[in-house]
Structures are given as structure tokens and as C-alpha cells.
Amino acid sequence: MSLEEKVISYRELALKIAELESEKKLLSQEILMLMPRNAETLRIQNLQVKRFSRLIIKTSLKDAKIFDAIKIEEVVDKDALKKLLSQGIFIPDITESTFIIISKVVTEKEPLALIN
């Protein structure tokens, strides 16, 4: 397969995966709606469905301070490390990952489409 064929095939697979992910998300929502509310685990044939709940916390720092629910912790300054690395300074435990992104080229004639 040529490079051009591989790129086109990659893009087609990415679009199929996105479509399948969308279908999977919809099925997940439907399964949750059909599961008995008091059931955390459900067995169907040789499959097990487990219900998980997660809190999504978007409380602002200002509001969290009201409840004395803030903490200050030390974190690695990644920007500082990147700057030092670009200056040729060796820093342990830093690796570089190289990857590709293939997307459709938008021409002036084509409207922009949002991809989620």
C-alpha cells in the first residue's frame, strides 16, 4: 500500500471509529436507562454490566474557599522543564512521543464542520 493509500485508509478508519464511538455512547445511555435503578451489577448471558457513578466537580476556587475546601500542593512546572530541555539541559524521566493526526482538508467551497 502506498503512503497516499495508507493516509486515506487511516482517515476512513478514524471516521468509522468516531461513528462507532457515538453509537456506543448512545447504547450506554440506553442501557443505563433500562437497568434497574437499585442494581449496580447486571448479568446478561456471559456478560456483566456494572454501573459506576462519578462526581463531576466544577466548583470555582472562590466557592470552594467558602467551604474551606482548598489545598495547595507542589506540582512539576512542565513549562520550566521544557525550556530547560530546549536549552540542551538533560532532565531525567522525560521522553518524547511522536504521533500523527490526519484530518480532512477544508477548501473554501466546503463549509466547516465541527468534529467532536
Model confidence pLDDT, tens digit, residues 85-96: 999 999 999 998
Query: What is the model's pTM?
Result: 0.63
Percent of the chain with pLDDT over 90: 66
Per the domain annotation, does 57 fall within a domain? yes
Confidence of residue 39 (pLDDT cuts 50, 70, 90): confident
Per the domain annotation, does 64 fall within a domain? yes
- Report the SS3 class of residue 67: coil
Cell 532532565 -> residue: 91
Per the domain annotation, does 80 fall within a domain? no
Confidence of residue 102 (pLDDT cuts 50, 70, 90): confident
Q: For residue 35, what are the domain limits?
A: 3-72
Per the domain annotation, does 45 fall within a domain? yes
Cell 539541559 -> residue: 89
Question: Residue 54: which region, alpha, beta or left (left: phi > 0; alpha: psi -120 to 50)?
Answer: beta
Residue 111 pLDDT exceeds 80: no
Per the domain annotation, does 101 fall within a domain? no
Per the domain annotation, does 13 fall within a domain? yes
Residue 113 pLDDT exceeds 80: no
